[in-house]
Amino acid sequence: MMNKITDNLNAAPTRGLRYLPLLIASVALVLVAACDKSAPESPTAQAPVNSIPTNPGGADEDLNADRYALGAPKDAIAVGQKSEVALTIEAADGLKVNEEFPWSITFEDTEGIEIAQKEFKMDELKLENRLASIPVTVSASAPGKHTVNAVGNFSVCNDTQCYVIRNQKLAFNIEAAAGEDAPEPAAN
């Protein structure tokens, strides 16, 4: 009888070990699920489920166009002179600029226009409620209308969701004038 008791006591730990891997896996799954729910990501850090991704050069290139409008100076810049201009991205009605999203704007080389700085990060932009302003120094080598192309990564939101707009092609129009049509040089 005593042998049976000691045999059962000695066998008990090995019987329980058979379920140990299952117990560890179950605990790990519960911890992973709890971590995902306890630290949700900011809604501005990623695209919401119902956002429309941008596909540069693809058929859906303008799907985000109703979410913002581009702006450029109405007055011409003088040919051969450096000019400070503000190029803008304005959130559409009912939307606002997402100031938490890491904005970036990269300008492409443009014939007839020289851009002093080609890359702008969020801290170099002026972000307001509905308007993002990009302070660009440009100079034109020829008169006429020039299209300055850029690629933007930005976000606009309403009260319930944010739209993350990635690799969006942007085109800003800048007019340059020479001779009598040129604006007066700015006083220093």
Kindly state the tokens that stand for 142. 């020829």
Mean pLDDT value across residues 69-96 = 93
The verdict on 24 and 114 lying in the same domain is no
- The answer, yes or no, to whether residue 40 has pLDDT greater than 60, is no
Same domain, yes or no: 71 and 153: yes
pLDDT digits (tens, 9 = 90+) for 43-69: 433 333 333 344 444 444 567 878 999
**Pairing state between β 162-177 and 77-78:** parallel
Same domain membership, residue 167 and residue 78:
yes
Residue 151 token pair: 């690629």
Show the domain range for 95: 65-181
Instruction: Specify if 134 maps to a domain.
Output: yes
The answer to whether residues 82 and 12 belong to one domain is no
Report the pLDDT value the prediction gives residue 178, as an integer from 0 to 100: 85
Q: What is the CATH number of the domain that holds 115?
A: 2.60.40.10
Does a structural domain hold residue 54? Answer: no
DSSP 93: T
Residue of 161 and 47 predicted with greater confidence: 161
Q: Tokens representing 129?
A: 């409620």
pLDDT for 17-31, tens place per residue? 666 666 576 666 555
**Which tokens is 48 given?**
């919401």
Total count of domains within the chain: 2
The least confident of 6-10, 129-133, 160-164 is: 6-10
Q: Quick check: 73 pLDDT over 80?
A: yes
* Model-wide pTM > 0.85: no
- Residue 163, pLDDT > 50, answer yes
Integer Cα distance of 136 and 113 in angstroms:
12
